[in-house]
Structure 1
């Protein structure tokens, strides 16, 4: 009897502790909601000002073991334009299970203590009804998030299969699974997941049936916030196959695509080094094998603080642009203004004197590989003490040196152009003959204009630049002579007004010198 009473007492005590803990953590979570929403809105305003949206929550109902609320995405207050129409909202239904042992976790036999688990599902309304039609009336995704007492989160995101048909339109999606981990401040996060397949059937403006399919999309990446409030990290995306067909015939097939981007800090934590590697294993157009490609791009020595200033200035100008009435009614003008904002802020990125390398950009087929390599060392133009008077002086303000080389094997180029001719309807023999003529003509024209040379059955060109001097295929000349080859005069640059530094004596614009003619090699 006593043992039974002791057992009952322990159970009651545990129940009281669990109930009290659940009530406490529910209360604690409620107190954090406002901060979490404010943090999310700050990220939206900083990283996607053009979206014109903000996050809010409503209908919070707290119980002992669970709570319920709705997260609402709506047009941002005062936004002149938004991804959502006025009055339109996207609503997430949030069911919260309180810790220390959330009931939702116990159902999946996860016994680790946690502040809460949250199940999120989309609400069917005017903004989302099309997604619900695709998902047969159900939420198109299901998100289960586990919140630790430290505030870190882990979310399992399940994208539901979609299947929709209406006339000639069809969408079929296999669904996918992703995992998102984030720290309590949103400074560090990672995303990994995959989607097996997808198919989209539609009708284009020519009333033709178009089909797009893809297979095995995978992504993995991580990101963290630096001391200068910019993100660095790694992101890798792979896609096994993408096919585009028209009227039942395959138009294009891309296989083995990989995009691998990385960015990290230097040892002193002041500059960013980035790299981008891209590969495409195979491209086929209407069954013709066009070859494969790859790109290896690196940008180093980006000054961190300058990158932050660039982001602030660019995003500020975009926000000001979006505030102009009617700007989104003319997409061409909007895009032009955005481009202008980008280039006006671009000089800020040169403060760290970055280095850009391409090694290589290439296209390869069964007959060879065309390669392009580039090394560009930039300078900080703000350190210049003399106002530029000539094109060379203007270039030297921002460019320390440049070294580039292009090699095109003639057999490879002929094979590529043969495939292009066959796509245009030429028979194989005619296509090869036409391609050979085109490549030989290109080689002869390049030599005639002193742009390329021929060596070992390759069309080649190399160019170096430093201190106002260009070396083209081994021949050195002033920059004025080089641009003069293309009919561009070395126009004098007017001295800026105000407190700009005067030009140094003797540094006036010079007319381009006549470039000497050279013998032209006869085409084979």
Structure 2
């Protein structure tokens, strides 16, 4: 018995020694780790805010250290943030309560027994700036985070936006909260996100405009990204929204959208990048009447990354100017000096040398009685010279183009009938509008710009090596242009 007790006591002393030594080691390492993490955060925010006009910065203000725990305070500032009519500044104090490893108590009590450097609980400090935000969240920190920091400078945890309930001057916001699981490393080389929101209900009442209401349900965010040597991420990032409802206008017309998806994929091959974005909506209703659903899938392939980044850098330099002209209601125009024009030309030629491809893989819309589709693939190539006449330049740049269009006559009829119904037309007028698909089909057939196949209006185009194949007929580019012009001219009303 004495021997057993001695072994148990010895193990207890050994474990205590390990924990104390680990905590002491963590305490010694922590200042450097936090300074490094803060620097990396600022670097990532600088990249994220680049070109937006706003700037953000995180600063470690103080670090109060003890043997088993520490308290760090950060100042988070954002300048020139556009939340309304005028840019504003935001300053928050973040409080980070850190339990030293290797076995922080908050992880032990949750049966998470893998050793880590530290476990932290982060919150926003209550002050004059955040007092109203605290009140809306039930007098708890509106933003809370719990993270574990690994000895390999990795992190894993959850960031929470707490539920809010705000009512002021007839307007209101009810928010169920948002949980975002995050994992990665301090260098930003790996990033995984898994977030979800229950509901967000907003009602905005203004004496000068009709009320605006919207209700969002079931938001989800999932991402698995890896930083590339070219300083942007590759991988998958998806956002889905189960239901959304909007009420607006003088008549307070309801609009509902169900099953919204956005799925983005980025892949790097050598110094080229492929990107694909897919957008989908399951069902739209307007004023209680079914409209339909559809999707859009676009992709770019073989885009030269260094050339693309150089071109984007030129645009970012002129972004404030472009934003000013757009805000003034003028069409934005990029004004480049001689040096920038020469650089843009060189980079565009480099981009085209990689034979990039742009594609609309699927643009489709479906109603109760029909579905229409369109797709297009454009393959580009580097011309022999950038100084060629414009017509020759375009011909050499476009290596191949393929597109197909299938318009459903019943779908056109459904949309025309819906419009007539929403405009308050009587039943006979709505039935007449439903015949719009047949009329469009006859016009397309008469113009020779399309063919008919059952209930679908079909048009196909293929271009390569200076030759066009349009709806199965081969012709030159000039012949195709003449056909289109004459066909469109024939559709003009008499007297025009």
Give yes or no for TM over 0.5. yes
Q: Distance in 2 between matches of 1:373 and 1:136?
A: 51
CA–CA distance in structure 2, aligned partners of residues 201 and 75 of structure 1: 27
Quick one: which of 180, 200, 210 aligns to 1:208?
210
Matched residues in 2 for 1:289 and 1:481: separation?
A: 43
Matched, 1:25 2:49: no
Question: Can you list the C-alpha shifts for 1:415-473, whole angstroms capped at 9, x where unaligned?
Answer: 1211121111112331120342x444444544555433334332222222223444333
Structure with higher strand content: 2
Shift of 1:335: 8.7
Query: Cα–Cα, structure 1 residues 386 and 47, in superposed 2: closer, same or farther, change >3 Å?
Result: closer
Tell me the secondary structure at the aligned position of residue 153 of structure 2. coil
Greater Cα offset, 283-292 or 202-211: 202-211
Query: 1:163–1:172: 8 Å Cα contact kept in structure 2?
Result: yes
Decide whether the 8 Å contact of 1:53 with 1:83 is kept in 2. no
Offset, 1:135: 1.4
Correspondence 1:107 to 2:109:
yes
Structure 1 gaps, min length 5: 488-513
Deviates more, 1:452-461 or 1:360-369: 452-461
Does residue 1:35 correspond to 2:36, yes or no? Answer: yes
CA contact 1:191–1:221 (8 Å) conserved in 2: yes
Higher relative contact order (CA 8 A, sep 6+): 1
Q: Equivalents in 2 of 1:243, 1:230: separation in Å?
A: 35
State the match for 2:276 in structure 1.
Answer: 275
Which residue of 447, 450, 453 maps to 2:451? 453
Change in CA separation of 1:41 and 1:245 when aligned onto 2, cut-off 3 Å = same
Q: Which residue of 1 aligns with 2:73?
A: 70
Please state how far the C-alpha of 1:147 moved relative to its aligned partner: 0.5
Structure 2 residue 327 is matched with structure 1 residue 331: yes
Aligned-residue CA RMSD in angstroms?
A: 3.6
Distance 1:349 1:41, change over 3 A: farther
Q: Is the 8 A contact 2:239 2:262 kept in 1?
A: yes
- Report the CA distance shift for 1:389/1:477 in structure 2 as closer, same or farther (over 3 A): farther
Instruction: Give the Cα–Cα distance (whole angstroms) in 2 for the partners of residues 113 and 376 of structure 1.
Output: 53
Structure 1 Cα separation of the partners of residues 424 and 403 of structure 2: 36
Aligned to 1:307: 305
Give the 3 Å change call, closer, same or farther, for CA 518–453 of structure 1 in structure 2.
farther
Deviations 1:289-347 (A, max 9, x none): 11110223332222xxx32442354246425655x8x9769735899368999996983
CA shift in 2, pair 1:68/1:319, >3 Å: farther
Task: Give aligned pairs, total.
Answer: 479
SS across alignment from 1:397: helix
Partner of 1:422: 421
Give the 5 Å matches for 1:140-289: 140-203=142-205, 206-246=208-248, 251-266=254-269, 269-289=270-290
Describe the shift of the 1:48–1:385 C-alpha distance in structure 2 as closer, same or farther (beyond 3 A). same
Q: Distance in 1 between matches of 2:314 and 2:72?
A: 34
TM-score (norm 2): 0.85
Higher mean C-alpha displacement, 328-337 vs 229-238: 328-337
Q: Unmatched 5+ residue regions in structure 2? A: none
Q: Contact between 1:264 and 1:274, CA under 8 Å: does it hold in 2? A: yes
The answer on 1:296 being equivalent to 2:297 is yes
> Are positions 1:467 and 2:468 aligned together?
no
Cα distance, 1:410 vs. partner?
A: 1.2
1:59 is the counterpart of 2:57:
no
Partner Cα distance (1:478, 1:187) in 2: 51
For the Cα contact (< 8 Å) 1:243–1:250, is it kept in 2? no
In the alignment, the residues of structure 2 paired with residue 455 and residue 146 of structure 1 have an alpha-carbon distance, to the nearest angstrom, of: 62
**Cα displacement (A) at 1:376:** 1.4
Cα distance in 2 between the residues matched to 1:180 and 1:248: 43
Residue 389 of structure 2 corresponds to 389
Is this contact kept in 2: 1:481–1:515, CA < 8 A?
no
Whole-angstrom distance in 2 between the partners of 1:334 and 1:37? 41
Q: Does 1:408 align with 2:407?
A: yes
Q: What corresponds to 1:494 in structure 2?
A: none
Is the partner of 1:64 in helix, strand or coil? coil
> How big is each residue's C-alpha offset from its partner over 1:73-107, in whole Å with a ceiling of 9 and x where there is no partner?
2257xxxx556978741221111111111122223
SS at match of 2:209: coil
> Kindly tell me: are residues 204 and 516 of structure 1, through their superposed partners in 2, closer, same or farther at Cα, counting changes over 3 Å?
closer
Q: Which deviates more from structure 2 when the two are superposed, residues 89-98 or residues 461-470? A: 461-470
Question: Contact conserved, 2:411 with 2:437, CA < 8 A, in 1?
Answer: no
Tell me the residue number matched to 2:120. 118
Tell whether the 8 Å contact from 1:251 to 1:286 is kept in structure 2 after alignment: yes
Alignment partners' CA distance in 2, 1:200 and 1:339: 41
Question: Would the aligned equivalents of 1:52 and 1:83 in 2 still touch at CA under 8 Å?
Answer: no
1:335 and 1:125, CA in 2 relative to 1: closer, same or farther beyond 3 A? Answer: farther
User: Is 2:194–2:221's contact at 8 Å kept on the other side of the alignment?
Assistant: yes
Asked whether the equivalents of residues 301 and 354 of structure 1 are also in contact (C-alpha less than 8 Å), the reply is yes
Say if 1:242 and 1:255, in contact at 8 Å, map to a contact too.
Answer: yes
Q: Following the alignment from structure 2 to structure 1, what is the Cα–Cα distance between the partners of residues 130 and 330?
A: 27
27-36 vs 5-14, which moves further:
5-14
Following the alignment from structure 2 to structure 1, what is the Cα–Cα distance between the partners of residues 233 and 329?
Answer: 30
What secondary structure does 1:22 align onto?
helix
In the alignment, the residues of structure 1 paired with residue 224 and residue 331 of structure 2 have an alpha-carbon distance, to the nearest angstrom, of 30
Q: Give SS of 2:267's match.
A: strand
Task: Find the residue that maps to 1:26 and give its secondary structure.
Answer: helix
